Each structure stands twice: as C-alpha cells, then as structure tokens.
Amino acid sequence: MNALNTRMGRDLLELWTRLTEYPEDLRCVVLAGTGERAFFAGGDLKERNGMTDDQWRRQHEVFERQHWTLADLPLPVIAAVNGHAYGGGFEMVLPCDFVYAARHARFALPEVGLVSALADDVAALRALALDTARTIAGNAPLSVRQAK
C-alpha cells in the first residue's frame, strides 16, 4: 500500500533535488501511488517498530527534508490520489500544487483532526478562536511548546 519507509524517503528526496537542479525539458510532475488501494498508506510501521529513538529521528529528518524539497520544487506538482492517503500519505499531498482524487480516495491524519470545531457565523468563529487562544496562553509556555 505504498508505505513510506526510509529508502523511499531518500529516493523521493533525491528525485525532488534532481528535478530542482536539472529539470531538463520537464514542465510538470504527476505524483501517484502504485495500484488502486492507496496513494501512500503512511509510514512503514513494520520498519518503524524496530527502530531506536536515534534511528527514528534520522528517518524523520529524511522525511522532513523530502517534504520541504517537494514544497520548494519549481515545477508544478499534481497529486493523483488513487486511494488511501493516511498519515504521511496525507502529508505527501499537502505540498502539491494540485490534488485530484478518485471518488474512493480517503484522507486522514491520526495526530489531530483537520477541523477542531465548527462555528455558525464569522463572529462565533472569531470568538471560538480567541477563547481557545486565551486558554492556551493561560498555560505554562514550556508545557504548551512541549504539547505542540
């Protein structure tokens, strides 16, 4: 299901770097997953299970650099989401310039919901946002940074 492992992260970082430096005659990139079930299913949990904290930090650094290199790519990037885009798969979609998805595609982030609350109008939206900001600001700064 196209799980993102360290090797794939390095390969994508190398690809985005090469396309930034030497685009040749390319004018656009289409990013798609193999098969029909998943665009990217997220991180490879089997690989991650046996990692030390240091190995995980190094892997995360590769993923971060890959993400920002894709975001800075001067060529337009179209994500063709052919299935599940979960976790890291959803994050692969975010730096793309256009996103086209099959009707059966699903997007999800396990860390947090995309929308925390809904408001009925602009005044209620601002009040809700400011109330939450006051609650956060009322906590210890170090605790807030650590929780974020």
Residue range(s) in the chain whose domain bears CATH number 3.90.226.10:
6-108
Q: What angle do CA 20, 95, 72 make, to 5 degrees?
A: 30
Radius of gyration, alpha carbons of the chain: 18
Whole-number pLDDT of residue 112: 64
pTM of the model: 0.76
pLDDT band at 81; cut points 50, 70, 90:
very high
Options 3.90.226.10, 3.90.550.10, 3.30.300.30, 3.60.120.10; CATH for 6-108 is 3.90.226.10
Helix boundaries (H) for 22-121: 45-49, 53-71, 88-93
Average pLDDT on 89-98 reads 94
pLDDT exceeds 80 at position 91: yes
Q: How far apart are CA 10 and CA 6, in angstroms?
A: 6
**Catalytic residue of the set 21, 24, 36, 111:** 111
Whole-number pLDDT of residue 115: 76
Of 26-35, 70-79, 94-103, 109-118, which gets the smallest average pLDDT?
A: 109-118
pLDDT exceeds 90 at position 35: no
Tell me if residue 111 is catalytic.
yes
Q: How far apart are CA 121 and CA 123, in angstroms?
A: 6
For residue 20, CA distances in Å to 5, 66, 76, 102, 140 come to 22, 12, 11, 28, 42
Q: What is the dihedral of CA 115, 119, 120, 125, to 10 degrees?
A: -120
Average pLDDT on 9-37 reads 95
What one-character DSSP code corresponds to residue 4? B
Tens-place pLDDT, residues 96-147: 999 999 999 999 888 768 777 889 999 999 999 999 999 999 999 888 887 7
